[in-house]
Chain A
Amino acid sequence: MYKPQERYEIIEKRDLSDVISEHIIYAPLIARSTKPGHFVILMKDENSERIPVTLVDWNKDKGTITVIIQSIGKSTADINSMKKGDFFLNVSGPLGTPVEVKKVGTVVGIGGGVGIAELYPIAKAFKEAGNKVISILGARNKDLLILEKETKEISDEILITTDDGSYGKKGVVTDALKELYEKGEKIDSVFTIGPLIMMKFVALATKPHSTPTYASLNPIMLDATGMCGGCKVEVDGKFKFACVDGPMFDAHKVNFESLLKRNNAFKEFEEQSLKEFEKKHNCKIGLH
């Protein structure tokens, strides 16, 4: 049962947009104990960073896990340049504290950008636990909207917004959320995964209604084993380690301002790294 695994093969790869790819990876020891909300650390090769990614799906029988990655910098672009049959040198996990799934009534899942992928297993689990699930998906434009069909299948209701109005309603996810409240929908719990700024505004929108709201935070991580403290986030005035205590936290208690700043800690390095990657591959990731 406990077999050493030196490398981790990509069994299937599917491009969901120009910059978003789905990878199905053979990692039986991880697949066997994954729960919704767990994440893994990926390293493409020896020179790579340790990149945390929330698991989208897993299959115990086949021993596979699924991740969906958006190219936003060198490391993510490097991973998305991999093909079916390629190997990750390291996949570590499952890590983090899984989401406590139970029947609460009506659960609203709010996913933004690639966060939609990470929301999917959580929404699915709440649906299977007998909840009414309303999914709000937000993307910058139609091309960047992912997993619409899959999310629809596990949702009682689905609302879509795009920044430019190229699909669904023009606007942002909090507009759709506010409409739900205005319609008189009784919301028992909100889960949100996406850009920090989006999650911050979701938290602000649910606070007046005292709706329990949970945000999956994405601070800079290094070891993801609770060892370095790099991923510390201030929750309820205390520092928590997102890698082991999270990544999901009570959104009303998170200090988003501090985290927004901290996530820029290595910005210049990230830009330098991306520039060299683009030069080498003669391409342009062209994001942000």
Chain B
Amino acid sequence: MNKPKRPSPNLKRNEGRHQDPVERTKNFEEVALGFNMEEALTEAARCLNCKNKPCELACPVNVKIPEFITSLYQEDIQSSVLKIYETSLFPAICGRVCPQEEYCEAACVLKDKFGSVSIGRLERFVADYARKNNMLKLPECDKDNGLKVACVGSGPASLAVAAELRKKGYDVTVFEALHEYGGVLRYGIPTFRLPREVIDFEVENLKKMGVKFIKNVLIGKSISLDEIRKDFDAVFIGSGAGLPSPLGVNGEDLIGVYSSNEFLTRINLMKGYKFPEYDTPVYVGKKVVVVGGGNTAMDSARCAKRLNPESVTVLYRRTKAEMPARAEEIENAIEEGIKFEFLTAPVELEGDEKGRLKRVKCIRMELGEPDSSGRRKPVPIKGSEFYMEADVIIAAIGQSPNPLIQQTSKIETNKWNCLVVNEKGQTSIEGVFAGGDVVRGGATVLLAMKDGKIAANAIDEYLKSKISNKN
């Protein structure tokens, strides 16, 4: 195929093709369309193949970035995808949802002069191409060693543990509380950011490798942690951060007040946007207000927009510069016609006689001294209160771990109810490991996957040493 000579760093960075902003608010199809082969090769040609590999060092799981891009440029997709799998697990997922602008692409030497190589989009291209062309063989698993490991939850952390340990010959069982697998990938991240076939593919592969998946079991309620600890040789807890933070204002029980978890679950897991073909309804009314500045707020706002209300407005108490959401997602939201009210917070929710939300009393903020997070703290401006009409308000102001396991066992937690672990993911209970959001309290898919890989190695070490001690 015709392609530019390598390196050609001065070619324009390609941001990938996207669905038209107006069209895409009428569907839940993927927004970012990625690269075709020609675009991928051209973008790959921009890579300088730096000897010191700053991108690779900046990646939390040290994906062999220059090497996979080199193989891609040579049109050897098979080698390229295997390079990625040497240190990573779910490239089609990470290529889509990992914040590359904070890691690999932030470290790219081309960043300031020409724009970083579009590493995330290349990763996604390689992973998608390999999947669609059946180039991915199932990894070889070691002979069954007879040791049983339970994973609590089926999100990215648990899936990583399951993959790593199954390869080493363990008998792995994944317990999922909901009826479909993937955890936050399934109920939280909308289809227009992560198509379901990508999640299904990873879960199916794990099943084919021999990982057992048990749905509809809530550890901490249906079965206690102590019980599975007894029945398995080791346990990994990757139950995520599923407890929504309330707004903490009057009127929180009005109809039309959702947590982002409820709103997104109705849409992503239960397919409420297809009501009445699917039975679960979702209500947005005419005017939607979303509170928060993270990726979950962007996902909520963009899902709401696709249900065709008159307006969707995001309230954020700081300014655009402090928003924790990925820049790309903020831009996508703006393109889709979502409005933003910065330096604004809700102080009270008012309803009608039927208990339905009618309007939101807001207050303007200004930025004061930096707080513990290092960001300037928003301070309310006295007398700046004003009203916004709203039928629906969605609180996307953070999540903490679901407290069920903590409540029903003696496992050590910190003041945010996150599980306390050492650097290997070991909790306060012997043989019980944890990682992902249940430890971090709300981080990223990539860090969850990284935790899973570390914990898998620690579980392997723990069980092997236990056996050799016995012998």
Chain A interfacial positions (CB closer than 8 Å to B):
1-5, 29-30, 33, 41, 43, 47-50, 74-75, 78, 89-96, 222-223, 225-230, 232, 234, 239, 244, 255, 258, 261-262, 264-266, 269-270, 272-273, 276
A227 touches B261 (CB 8 A): yes
What is the CA–CA distance of A7 and B242 in the complex, to the nearest angstrom? 26
Tell me which residues across on chain B come within 8 A of A47, comparing CB atoms. Answer: 271, 277-279
- Additional pairs, 11, CB under 8 Å, beyond known A92-B177, A227-B402: A1-B231, A2-B150, A5-B214, A49-B280, A90-B179, A93-B222, A95-B218, A96-B221, A225-B218, A228-B265, A261-B354
Tell me which residues across on chain A come within 8 A of B252, comparing CB atoms. Answer: 232, 239
Tell me which residues across on chain A come within 8 A of B223, comparing CB atoms. Answer: 29, 33
Q: Which residue of A lies closest to B255 (CB)?
A: A265
Tell me which residues across on chain B come within 8 A of A222, comparing CB atoms. Answer: 262, 265-266, 270, 280
What is the CA–CA distance of A244 and B404 in the complex, to the nearest angstrom? 8
B184, chain A: closest CB distance, angstroms:
10
B221 touches A94 (CB 8 A): yes
What is the CA–CA distance of A150 and B17 in the complex, to the nearest angstrom? 66
15 A-B residue pairings within 8 Å (CB atoms): A4-B214, A29-B223, A33-B223, A47-B271, A49-B270, A90-B216, A91-B216, A96-B221, A225-B178, A225-B221, A225-B404, A230-B259, A232-B252, A239-B252, A261-B354
A93 touches B259 (CB 8 A): no
A215, chain B: closest CB distance, angstroms:
17
B275 touches A225 (CB 8 A): no
Interchain residue pairs A-B with the least CB separation, the first 7: A261-B355, A269-B281, A92-B216, A228-B262, A227-B242, A90-B179, A49-B279
Chain B interface residue number, banded? 35 or more
Tell me which residues across on chain B come within 8 A of A89, comparing CB atoms. Answer: 179
B212 touches A4 (CB 8 A): yes
A264 touches B255 (CB 8 A): yes
Given contacts A93-B222, A229-B261, A239-B246, contact A262 B253 (CB under 8 A): yes
Q: Which residue of A lies closest to B275 (CB)?
A: A269
B278 touches A228 (CB 8 A): no
What is the CA–CA distance of A41 and B218 in the complex, to the nearest angstrom? 11
A285, chain B: closest CB distance, angstroms:
15
A229 touches B259 (CB 8 A): yes
Asked whether any CB of chain A lies closer than 8 Å to the CB of B442, the reply is no
A92 touches B283 (CB 8 A): no
Within 8 A of A (CB), among B194-251: 212-218, 221-223, 231, 242-244, 246
Given contacts A2-B212, A43-B179, A47-B277, contact A30 B265 (CB under 8 A): no
B265-297: CB near A (< 8 Å → 1, else 0) gives 110011100011111110100000000000000
What is the CA–CA distance of A49 and B265 in the complex, to the nearest angstrom? 12
B127-164: CB near A (< 8 Å → 1, else 0) gives 00000000000000000000000100000000000000
B244, chain A: closest CB distance, angstroms:
5
Choose from B173, B212, B246, B256 the contact partner of A229 (Cβ within 8 Å).
B246
Asked whether any CB of chain A lies closer than 8 Å to the CB of B403, the reply is yes
Choose from B150, B231, B261 the contact partner of A228 (Cβ within 8 Å).
B261
B136, chain A: closest CB distance, angstroms:
24
A26, chain B: closest CB distance, angstroms:
13
Tell me which residues across on chain A come within 8 A of B214, comparing CB atoms. Answer: 2-5, 29
Chain B interfacial positions (CB closer than 8 Å to A):
150, 173, 175, 177-179, 187, 212-218, 221-223, 231, 242-244, 246, 252-253, 255-256, 258-259, 261-262, 265-266, 269-271, 275-281, 283, 354-355, 402-404
What is the CA–CA distance of A145 and B221 in the complex, to the nearest angstrom? 32
Tell me which residues across on chain A come within 8 A of B354, comparing CB atoms. Answer: 261, 264
A228 touches B177 (CB 8 A): no
Tell me which residues across on chain B come within 8 A of A266, comparing CB atoms. Answer: 281, 283
Tell me which residues across on chain B come within 8 A of A225, comparing CB atoms. Answer: 177-178, 218, 221, 242, 402, 404
Choose from A223, A232, A270 the contact partner of B253 (Cβ within 8 Å).
A232
Tell me which residues across on chain A come within 8 A of B213, comparing CB atoms. Answer: 4
B279 touches A273 (CB 8 A): yes
Tell me which residues across on chain A come within 8 A of B243, comparing CB atoms. Answer: 226-227
B277, chain A: closest CB distance, angstroms:
7
A48 touches B279 (CB 8 A): yes
Choose from A48, A223, A273 the contact partner of B281 (Cβ within 8 Å).
A273
A228 touches B244 (CB 8 A): yes
Tell me which residues across on chain B come within 8 A of A229, comparing CB atoms. Answer: 244, 246, 259, 261-262
A231, chain B: closest CB distance, angstroms:
9
Choose from B244, B246, B279, B402 the contact partner of A75 (Cβ within 8 Å).
B279
What is the CA–CA distance of A272 and B242 in the complex, to the nearest angstrom? 31
What is the CA–CA distance of A92 and B214 in the complex, to the nearest angstrom? 11
Tell me which residues across on chain B come within 8 A of A96, comparing CB atoms. Answer: 221
Tell me which residues across on chain B come within 8 A of A1, comparing CB atoms. Answer: 231
Tell me which residues across on chain A come within 8 A of B256, comparing CB atoms. Answer: 265
Q: Which residue of B lies closest to A266 (CB)?
A: B281
Q: Which residue of B lies closest to A273 (CB)?
A: B276
A139, chain B: closest CB distance, angstroms:
28
B215, chain A: closest CB distance, angstroms:
7
Q: Which residue of B lies closest to A263 (CB)?
A: B255
A29 touches B222 (CB 8 A): yes
A220, chain B: closest CB distance, angstroms:
10
Q: Which residue of B lies closest to A97 (CB)?
A: B221
Q: Which residue of A lies closest to B281 (CB)?
A: A269
Tell me which residues across on chain B come within 8 A of A3, comparing CB atoms. Answer: 214
Residue from B213, B221, B243, B276 whose CB has the most chain A CB atoms within 10 Å: B221
B253 touches A258 (CB 8 A): yes
Tell me which residues across on chain A come within 8 A of B270, comparing CB atoms. Answer: 49-50, 222
What is the CA–CA distance of A90 and B355 in the complex, to the nearest angstrom? 33
B402 touches A226 (CB 8 A): yes
Residue from B246, B271, B279 whose CB has the most chain A CB atoms within 10 Å: B279
Tell me which residues across on chain B come within 8 A of A91, comparing CB atoms. Answer: 216
B210, chain A: closest CB distance, angstroms:
12
A30, chain B: closest CB distance, angstroms:
7
Residue from A50, A78, A90, A92 whose CB has the most chain B CB atoms within 10 Å: A92
A262 touches B355 (CB 8 A): yes
Tell me which residues across on chain A come within 8 A of B262, comparing CB atoms. Answer: 222, 228-230
B279 touches A92 (CB 8 A): no
B261 touches A90 (CB 8 A): no
B110, chain A: closest CB distance, angstroms:
42
Q: Which residue of A lies closest to B215 (CB)?
A: A90
Tell me which residues across on chain A come within 8 A of B246, comparing CB atoms. Answer: 229, 239
A226 touches B355 (CB 8 A): no
Q: Which residue of A lies closest to B279 (CB)?
A: A49
Given contacts A239-B246, A276-B276, contact A226 B216 (CB under 8 A): no
B416, chain A: closest CB distance, angstroms:
16
What is the CA–CA distance of A172 and B459 in the complex, to the nearest angstrom? 60
Tell me which residues across on chain B come within 8 A of A78, comparing CB atoms. Answer: 279
Choose from A30, A228, A261 the contact partner of B222 (Cβ within 8 Å).
A30
